[in-house]
Structure 1
Amino acid sequence: MAEAHQAVAFQFTITPEGIDLQLSYQALNQIYLSGVRSWKKRVSRLRNRVIKGVYPASPSSWLFVVIAILATMYMRSDPSMGLITKIQQHLPLSLSAEKQTMLSVLVFSTLLWLSLILALRFCLKLLLSYHQWMFEQHGRVSNTTKVWVTLLRLLSSRKPLLYSYQTSLPILPVPAIKETLSRYLESVRPLLTDPGYKRMTEMANQFESNLGNRLQRYLKLKALWATNYVSDWWEEYIYLRSRGPIMVNSNYYGMDFLYVTPTALQAARAGNTITALMLYRRKVNREELKPSRVPGTVIPLCAAQCERMFNTTRTPGVETDVLQHWQDSEFVAVYHKGRFFRLWVYTAGRLLSPREIEHQIQRILDDPSPPQPGEEKLGALTAGDRVPWAQMRKQYFSSGINKRSLDSIERAAFFITLDDEEQGMRGEDPAGNLDRYAKSVLHGKCYDRWFDKSFSIVIYKNGKSGLNAEHSWADAPTVAHLWEFTLATDAFQLGYSEDGHCKGEVDRSLPLPQRLVWDIPSEVQAQVCSSLAVAQALADDVDCHVFPFRDFGKGRIKKLKISPDAFIQICLQLAYYRDRGGFCLTYEASMTRLFREGRTETVRSCSNESCAFVKALEDGEEAEQCRNLFRLASERHQNLYRMAMTGAGIDRHLFCLYVVSKYLGVDSPFLKEVLSEPWRLSTSQTPVQQMELFDLKNHPDFISLGGGFGPVADDGYGVSYIIVGEDMINFHVSSKYSCSETDSHRFGAQISKAFQDVMTLLSADTKTSSSSKGPAQPQPKKLL
Structure 2
Amino acid sequence: GFRTTLMKDSLIHWQDSEYVAVFHRGRYFRLWLYHAGRMLSPREIEQQIQRIMDNPSPPVPGEAKLGALTAGDRIPWAQARKEFFSSGVNKRSLDCIEKAAFFVTLDDDEQGMRGDDPAGNLDRYAKSLLHGKCYDRWFDKSFTVVVYKNGKNGLSAEHSWADAPIMAHVWEYVMTTDSFQLGYTEEGHCKGDVASSLPPPTRLTWDIPAECQERIERSLAVAQALADDVDFHVLPIQEFGKGAIKKCKISPDAFIQIALQLAYYRNRGTFSLTYEASMTRLFREGRTETVRSCTSESCAFIRALEGGESKEACRHLFRTAAEKHQHLYRMAMTGGGIDRHLFCLYIVSKYLGEESPFLNKVLSETWRLSTSQTPLQQVELFDFVNHPEYTTCGGGFGPVADDGYGVSYIIIGENMINLHISCKHSCPQTDSHKFGADIKKALEDLLELMSPEKPDPSKAELNHSKKSKKDL
Q: TM-score range by the shorter chain?
A: over 0.9
The two structures have a TM-score, normalised by structure 1, of 0.57
Report the Cα offset of residue 695 of structure 1.
2.7
Q: Note the alpha carbon deviations across 1:378-398, whole angstroms, 9 max, x for none.
A: 000000000111111112111
Kept in 1: contact 2:68–2:135 (CA 8 A): yes
From 376, 382, 396, the equivalent of 2:70 is 382
Q: Comparing both structures, which one devotes a greater share of its residues to strand?
A: 2
Report the Cα offset of residue 457 of structure 1.
0.2
Task: Report what 1:688 is aligned to.
Answer: 376
Task: Give 1:645-724 correspondences, 5 Å limit.
Answer: 645-690=333-378, 692-724=380-412
Task: Give 1:255-654 correspondences, 5 Å limit.
Answer: 313-654=1-342
Task: Report what 1:303 is aligned to.
Answer: none
Kept in 2: contact 1:553–1:729 (CA 8 A): yes
Report the Cα offset of residue 700 of structure 1.
1.4
> For residues 44 and 282 of structure 2, what CA distance do their matches in structure 1 show?
42
Task: Give 1:170-319 correspondences, 5 Å limit.
Answer: 313-319=1-7
Task: Report what 2:468 is aligned to.
Answer: none
Kept in 1: contact 2:65–2:136 (CA 8 A): yes
Q: Note the alpha carbon deviations across 1:262-321, whole angstroms, 9 max, x for none.
A: xxxxxxxxxxxxxxxxxxxxxxxxxxxxxxxxxxxxxxxxxxxxxxxxxxx012222310
> For residues 391 and 522 of structure 1, what CA distance do their matches in structure 2 show?
15
Give the match's secondary structure for 1:425.
coil
Report the Cα offset of residue 766 of structure 1.
5.7
Kept in 2: contact 1:694–1:702 (CA 8 A): no
> For residues 759 and 351 of structure 1, what CA distance do their matches in structure 2 show?
51
Give the match's secondary structure for 2:12.
strand
Q: 2:307 corresponds to which letter in structure 1?
A: D
Q: 1:323 corresponds to which letter in structure 2?
A: L
Q: Comparing both structures, which one devotes a greater share of its residues to helix?
A: 1
Give the match's secondary structure for 1:422.
coil
Sequence identity percentage: 73
> For residues 583 and 590 of structure 1, what CA distance do their matches in structure 2 show?
21
Q: Note the alpha carbon deviations across 1:711-753, whole angstroms, 9 max, x for none.
A: 0000000000000000000000000000000000000000000
> For residues 257 and 263 of structure 2, what CA distance do their matches in structure 1 show?
10
Kept in 1: contact 2:168–2:375 (CA 8 A): yes
Kept in 2: contact 1:318–1:387 (CA 8 A): yes
Kept in 1: contact 2:248–2:452 (CA 8 A): no
Give the match's secondary structure for 2:400.
coil
Task: Report what 2:459 is aligned to.
Answer: none
Q: Note the alpha carbon deviations across 1:403-427, whole angstroms, 9 max, x for none.
A: 1111110000110000000001111
Kept in 1: contact 2:23–2:104 (CA 8 A): yes
Kept in 1: contact 2:370–2:405 (CA 8 A): yes
> For residues 77 and 299 of structure 2, what CA distance do their matches in structure 1 show?
45
> For residues 747 and 317 of structure 1, what CA distance do their matches in structure 2 show?
41
Q: 1:661 corresponds to which letter in structure 2?
A: S
Q: 2:187 corresponds to which letter in structure 1?
A: D
Q: Note the alpha carbon deviations across 1:651-709, whole angstroms, 9 max, x for none.
A: 11111111111111111111101000000000000011435212323211211111000
CA RMSD of aligned residues (A): 1.0
Task: Report what 1:95 is aligned to.
Answer: none
Task: Report what 1:763 is aligned to.
Answer: 451
Q: 2:298 corresponds to which letter in structure 1?
A: S
Report the Cα offset of residue 533 of structure 1.
0.3
Report the Cα offset of residue 360 of structure 1.
0.5
4+ aligned runs moved over 4 Å, structure 1: none
Q: 1:729 corresponds to which letter in structure 2?
A: I
> For residues 454 and 229 of structure 2, what CA distance do their matches in structure 1 show?
46
Kept in 2: contact 1:380–1:532 (CA 8 A): yes
Which segments of 5 or more consecutive residues in structure 2 lack a partner in the other structure? 456-472
Which segments of 5 or more consecutive residues in structure 1 lack a partner in the other structure? 1-312, 768-784
The two structures have a TM-score, normalised by structure 2, of 0.95
> For residues 29 and 20 of structure 2, what CA distance do their matches in structure 1 show?
8
Pair member with larger Rg: 1
Kept in 1: contact 2:331–2:337 (CA 8 A): yes
Give the match's secondary structure for 2:108.
coil
Give the match's secondary structure for 1:500.
coil
> For residues 34 and 248 of structure 2, what CA distance do their matches in structure 1 show?
53
Matched, 1:729 2:417: yes
Report the Cα offset of residue 435 of structure 1.
0.4
How many residues align? The count is 455
Q: 2:364 corresponds to which letter in structure 1?
A: S
Report the Cα offset of residue 349 of structure 1.
0.8
Report the Cα offset of residue 556 of structure 1.
1.4
- Give the direction of change, closer, same or farther, for the CA distance of 1:609–1:750 in structure 2 (3 Å limit): same
> For residues 658 and 490 of structure 1, what CA distance do their matches in structure 2 show?
46
Task: Give 1:158-177 correspondences, 5 Å limit.
Answer: none
Q: 2:113 corresponds to which letter in structure 1?
A: M
Give the match's secondary structure for 2:303.
helix
Kept in 2: contact 1:317–1:386 (CA 8 A): no
